[in-house]
Amino acid sequence: MYEKIEKLDKYLKTEEYEDFYNLDRETIFWIDWREFDDAIIQYCEKCLKTNSLKAEMKEVSGDLELTINYENKTHIEKVVDRDRTIITLNEIIQPKYEIRFCKVSDGSDTLAFLPLSNQEWGQLIEKYGEEKINQCFEPINQNSVMFNKEYDFDFDNNDATLDFT
């Protein structure tokens, strides 16, 4: 259990993108904006290793449906977008686990997510403080917008300013 905390230590001490990028795919998972929704669940399972989290997608009456199986329960959701899939997945795996959005990846077309047990989140908060953890890893809730953010580009005197609103 402490293995993931140790892997996150270097990044949390430096907050450097390179230290974050060096984390392995068993600690964080990356989602491209074009990713299939069932793959999101597979990537999360690779990190959490629950042995009970699986998904499949199929077309039903012209709509895509995502079936997520977790701990002998089946959840069926209409595929809307990546944000909704991650929000739903996060709700399904709670209260044992929580997925958070890795803010260092914000603004990219491939976003990173950190799934941990609630015990591991508690250890990180105890070690680094809730403010720092929330600053680096944004909690996901019903109103979270990760892939569907709108960005304003303001070009003034050949200088590009990016406004993340």
Does residue 143 belong to any structural domain of this protein? yes
Token pair in block for residue 20: 């974050």
* Residue 75: predicted pLDDT: 97
Nearest to 107 by CA among 25, 42, 41, 17: 17
Q: Which domain holds residue 114?
A: 2-54+81-164
Does residue 67 belong to any structural domain of this protein? no
Per-residue DSSP letter, 154: E
Does residue 153 belong to any structural domain of this protein? yes
- Number of Cβ within a 10 Å radius of residue 26: 13
Residue 153 clears pLDDT 80, i.e. is over it: no
| Pairing outcome for strands 110-117 and 151-156 | unpaired
* 106-118 tens-digit pLDDT: 988 899 999 999 9
Element (H, E) at 8: helix 2-14
* 15-55 tens-digit pLDDT: 999 999 999 999 999 999 888 999 999 999 999 999 999 99
Kindly report the pTM of this predicted structure: 0.88
Does residue 33 belong to any structural domain of this protein? yes
* Residue 149: predicted pLDDT: 78
* 1-12 tens-digit pLDDT: 568 888 899 999
Does residue 68 belong to any structural domain of this protein? no
* Residue 72: predicted pLDDT: 94
Residue 66 neighbours by CB under 8 Å, 6+ apart:
37, 38, 41, 55, 56, 57, 76, 77, 78, 79, 85
**How many structural domains comprise the chain?**
1
Token pair in block for residue 157: 């005197």
Does residue 90 belong to any structural domain of this protein? yes
Predicted confidence band of residue 156 (pLDDT cuts 50, 70, 90): low
Does residue 69 belong to any structural domain of this protein? no
Does residue 92 belong to any structural domain of this protein? yes
* Residue 44: predicted pLDDT: 98
Rounded CA-CA distance 127/123 in Å is: 6
